[in-house]
Structure 1
Amino acid sequence: MNQTERISSEKRHVLIQGGRVAAPDGRLIRADVLIDAAGLIAEVAPGIVPPAQAALVDASDSLVVPGFVDCHQHLDKTGVLRFAPNPSGTLQGAREAFATYARQAPPEDIFRRASKTIGRCMAHGTTAIRSHVNVDKDAGFNGIEALAQLRADWADRMALQLVAFMTPHPGQDLDWLAANIDRAAASADAVGGTPAVAEDPDRYLDLIFQAAADRGLPVDLHMDEHLDPTRLHFDKVFERVRRFGMQGRTVLGHTSVLSALPSAQFQRIMAEILELEIGLVTLPAANLYLQGRDAEQLPPRGLTRVAQLLRAGVPLATASDNIEDPFVPTGSGDMLEMARWTLLAGHLKGDELAATYDMITAIPARLMGLDGYGIEKGNPANLNVMQADDIDTLVAGGPVAASVFAKGRLVCRSAQSEIPLAAGSLQPC
């Protein structure tokens, strides 16, 4: 990629020339992309005449794709692994480790760690993140208040949504959550929780759905993180989706237990998911790491039925979940890496690489309700210029070089890219 003019921090037009543009209908089209001084896509067409003083980007050897979407993270937990070890490697071990740490984690610590991770994610081309944030007796409101400030500070570069993650613990009644859920929801973009570990799942789900309905917010649940077919809460959730009118506004994360159900039972649940327009999110890193450790034989892994759900048309996204904490000790913030993990661990096939690309772009954008997502006129210019032959090779091996634009501003580039950085933007990735 070559750049004939420096892209400065001044407001000006940018013309990305000759790239293969990922159109909203899934096709790759050879076209130019004109970004106006306000950071919006002004035109997508071949042979656009550059406006005076426009910065020019030669993308003739590159793809131009929308910014990646990570629709399930935990920014309040990111980077705490060395302070909150999890010797057992289990879900409960991780919960206990973070609860201990959260009791004394100051807001500035959360802010610093989350900022670092957001920067890493952006460096890999992510321009939208939804983060679940613990609200409970251990964490209080430190996490959600710190991340609400972070959401405001990053608004010019990152679309950050917060889920008020009302976290139940063994031995903790629901009175505290009931007394504080409205305050938490006031700072949030969605309301969520984990019914599988609640002592009274019915009351717990009522609290979550009622708070979401009262504020006009969607629901985003950790549906489960276990493989016990006798512990199911899908019907309880379906009943509340209908009762509170949350069709098309409910997302279920993990749904690991679907992989442990007989086929007929799974098919019944999947049919209701489709009828109620519920979105799902698989989190391969966490589920591969945490589940199945107590099995005497080589254990089944913790993913949901990725291939069957995706092929049936269920809106299924994939996401990072945790990054370098007691729940997942690894993580780079690279959504292309997560797409590869999903293909391999979810038993998708080599001809479904493009399907995993959809799982980090259009599908999670839909689940998050992102307005103006995609490369078309009038949308914010959140996009990546990535040197790769096509979508399959981009997912399979990553780009040779990349540059990231957030709301029209060049915010990051890989070391191989020849596009110079704007003054005051991030350093080379």
Structure 2
Amino acid sequence: MERVNATVSLANLAPGQSFALTGGTVLLEDGSQSVSDIIVGADGRIVAVGPALDTGSCGACIDITGMLVTPGFVDAHQHLDKTGVLRFTPNPSGTLQGARDAFAKYARTAGPDDIHKRATRTVERCLSRGTTAIRSHINVDKDAGFHGIRTLAEIRDGAKDRITLQLVAFMTPHPGQDFDWLAANIDGAVELADAVGGTPAVSEDPPRYLDILFSAAVKAGKPVDLHLDEHLRADVQLLDAALERVERFGMQGRTVFSHVSVLSALPRSEYQRIAERMLALNVGAVTLPAANLYLQARDYEMLPPRGLTRVAEMHRAGITIATASDNIQDPFVPTGSGDMLEIARWTLLAGHLRGDELAAAHKMITSAPARLMGLGKDYGLAAGARADFVVTDCIDTDTLVAGGPDRAFVFTKGRLVSQSATENLPAKEIA
């Protein structure tokens, strides 16, 4: 009966009201889980977290005994300008280049209204599944122009009380890329964005391209997030070139390498050398299992590899590694619902994590991406943080990742923005 009462009370919290959640299992900053109370202020920030708090001054007090509270999920790598275009962008080859070509053709006709409608729908679906922060890479090039980044900047600013959105100015090279155009337009794109990105592996001049990206980031005082070595060609890797620029431009702790699929194709000694350098320079990584499973290794006649980077080894080495959706229902990934728990499961299974590392998979969709995105003290279940969290009927985070909840409540900035439940209907007797 307590569960029913808690459910009704959570669903009926008044917006802008201070409240306390008591008796639930709470994921704390150090990764431990314990029974604690949470007090949320009327300003949408957490006032206190701890056992047996004084909740007398709260506008409402709800006993959530038997329920779990975790920080909101963080999707550190999406492409909201591409989301939902699958039916308009056929990719018969199923390859990465086929997807690039398909979207480049569509991008020439995709206007702001189209981008806004698709991106908003995906953001709301992600929010309904517990994602409270997203970093999205937005194409900026001669095909897409500035339509995508301007539209997403409008969505980001308008939705800031519902969800935290960060934009990466994804300066996308194509065959025949005009470097003069890139250099002339990157500052304007970066001004609208929160980070600088690109994909060096398909550039005609990777060293020059990397210098343009890092120079723009330093000039704007913004971090770098690269699509790096999204392939399995062991003889072609740009990790060393990118790491050299991290050091030369002073971008330690402010750089993320996404994909890095090639690490799984390198000899272990080479991987270990690069991993040690990533650790020394405090460079994080994001794995994208959906895209890498779908796009990579289609040309292998036997035993095609999984296409992911060395997820388990990087995690165990101490590298900050997150997992993310990448693309949702477009030529790069034809599936996707915005459910980060689904992505966590894919990562555990395809990334060779073990059954006793469910907590690691949970970390890869919470604290690890929050760190890579620089969310700082705004994130987590601690005093002063934004009250962005998910309340579920799971007993712990292992249960949450392994099978998901039957009942979930999503809060952003202290307001309930989504609730969901799976109910079994009683069988009807046949007369």
Fold match by TM threshold 0.5: yes
- The equivalent position to 1:278 in structure 2, one of 274, 283, 303, is 283
Amino acid paired to 1:229: A
Alpha-carbon distance between aligned partners in 2 of 1:65 and 1:267, rounded to the nearest angstrom: 33
Asked if 1:389 corresponds to 2:395, the answer is yes
Q: Which region of structure 1 is more displaced relative to structure 2, 20-29 or 293-302?
A: 293-302
Q: Which residue of 2 aligns with 1:329?
A: 334
Structure 1 residue 52, shift from structure 2 partner:
5.2
Letter in 2 for 1:325: D
SS at match of 1:137: coil
Task: Determine if contact 1:228/1:260 at 8 Å carries over to the other structure.
Answer: yes
**Residue deviations 1:267-314, cap 9 Å, x none?**
111111111000000000000000000112131121001111111101
Match for residue 179 of structure 1 among 184, 202, 217: 184
Q: 1:314 to 1:53 in 2, by over 3 A?
A: closer
How many angstroms apart in 2 are the aligned matches of 1:224 and 1:134? 18
Q: Provide the secondary structure at the position in 2 that maps to 1:82.
A: helix
CA contact (8 A) 1:13 1:51 kept: no
Which stretch has the larger CA shift, 370-379 or 336-345? 370-379
For 1:414, what is the secondary structure of its paired residue?
Answer: strand
* Map of 1:252 onto structure 2: 257
Evaluate the alpha carbon distance shift between residue 5 and residue 359 of structure 1 in structure 2; reply closer, same or farther with a 3 A threshold.
closer
The CA deviation string for residues 364-384 of structure 1, in whole angstroms up to 9 with x for no partner, is 000000032110111110011
- Given candidates 12, 15, 21, the residue that maps to 2:17 is 12
Say whether 1:209 aligns with 2:214: yes
CA contact (8 A) 2:16 2:414 kept: no
Contact 1:252/1:278 (CA < 8 Å) preserved in 2? yes
Partner secondary structure for residue 77 of structure 2: strand
- What is the 5 A alignment of 1:4-403? 4=9, 7-51=12-56, 54-371=59-376, 372-403=378-409
Q: Identity, % of aligned pairs?
A: 62
Does the CA contact (< 8 Å) of 2:362 and 2:397 recur in 1? yes
The normalised TM-score by structure 1 is 0.95
Q: Contact 1:81 / 1:329 at 8 angstroms: preserved in 2?
A: yes
3-state secondary structure, aligned to 2:406 = coil
The match for 2:420 is: 414
1:161 & 1:294 partners in 2: Cα distance?
35
Contact 1:5-1:56 within 8 A present in 2 as well = no
Question: Alpha-carbon deviation of 1:165?
Answer: 0.2
Cα deviation 1:97-149 (Å, max 9, x = unaligned): 00011000010111111111011111111100000000000000000000000
Q: How many residues align?
A: 417
CA distance in 2, matches of 1:331, 1:323: 5
**Are residues 42 and 7 of structure 1, via their aligned partners in 2, closer, same or farther at CA, if it must alter by over 3 Å?**
farther
**In structure 1, what residue type is equivalent to 2:367?**
A
Q: Aligned partners of 1:334, 1:235: CA distance in 2, in Å? A: 34
- The residue matched to 1:33 in structure 2 has which SS? strand
Gaps of 5+ in 1: 418-429
8 Å contact kept, 1:213–1:244: yes
